[in-house]
């Protein structure tokens, strides 16, 4: 092998090891356990299996961390988006929850309050009932941009302008 070919092979091996390392970092990020448990409890209340999202039950994986847009995507009735940049890229937090037109109903899940980093909630065209829970307004993740169903008690609906 000539010196140039050896150098090219070394460069290729170095590039592949860097890519493998980057992939390993991405794979080691795990969903905050409290948030994963909250999501699991919500699924239980809604009668959904966790395998609906991901067979390995790592909620912040696949579409939850790729560039797939959930907002306005007619093929996605249930979905989450995560930010995996916490604790040196080892912890993921759920930042978006979509349940548009998913046929869900009953009282809004109390475990929703565990999603402390939620920034966007889309839950229109479902049959949630009762009062809007107090914890919806106390979310620590910032302002929640939300589109909710009309069935909540005392909810005032303002037309889009």
Q: What is the DSSP letter of 135?
A: G
pLDDT at 160 over 80: no
Residue 22 three-state SS: helix
Which pTM does this prediction carry?
0.67
Give the pLDDT confidence of 90-130 residue by residue, as tens digits.
Answer: 999 999 888 888 888 888 788 888 888 988 888 878 887 76
The conformation of residue 155, written as its DSSP 8-state character, comes to P
In whole angstroms, give the CA distance from residue 1 to residue 120: 57
**Above 90 in pLDDT, residue 87?**
yes
Give the residue among 69, 53, 64 at the shortest CA–CA distance from 102. Answer: 53
The mean pLDDT value for 26-42 works out to 85
Nearest in space to 31 (alpha carbons), one of 88, 94, 85:
94
In contact, 82 and 64? CB cutoff 8 Å: yes
Q: Which two tokens stand for residue 12?
A: 């290729």
Q: Are the C-beta atoms of residues 125 and 147 closer than 8 Å to each other?
A: no
For the chain, the domains span 29-147
Q: What pLDDT is recorded for position 22?
A: 44
φ/ψ (deg, to 5) at 62: 60, -130
pLDDT in tens, 63-72: 888 887 777 7
């Amino acid at each position: 092998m000539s010196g140039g070919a050896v150098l090219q092979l070394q460069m290729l091996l170095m590039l592949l090891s860097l890519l493998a390392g980057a992939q390993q970092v991405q794979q080691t990020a795990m969903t905050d356990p409290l948030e994963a448990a909250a999501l699991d409890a919500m699924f239980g209340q809604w009668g959904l299996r966790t395998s609906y999202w991901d067979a390995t039950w790592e909620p912040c994986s696949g579409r939850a961390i790729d560039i797939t847009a959930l907002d306005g995507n007619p093929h996605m009735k249930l979905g989450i988006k995560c930010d995996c940049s916490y604790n040196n890229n080892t912890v993921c937090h759920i930042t978006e929850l979509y349940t548009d037109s998913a046929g869900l109903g009953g009282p809004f899940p109390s475990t929703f309050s565990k999603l402390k980093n939620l920034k966007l909630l889309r839950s229109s065209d479902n049959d949630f009932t009762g009062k809007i829970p107090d914890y919806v307004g106390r979310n620590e993740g910032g302002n929640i941009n939300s589109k909710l169903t009309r069935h909540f008690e005392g909810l005032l609906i303002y037309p889009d302008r």
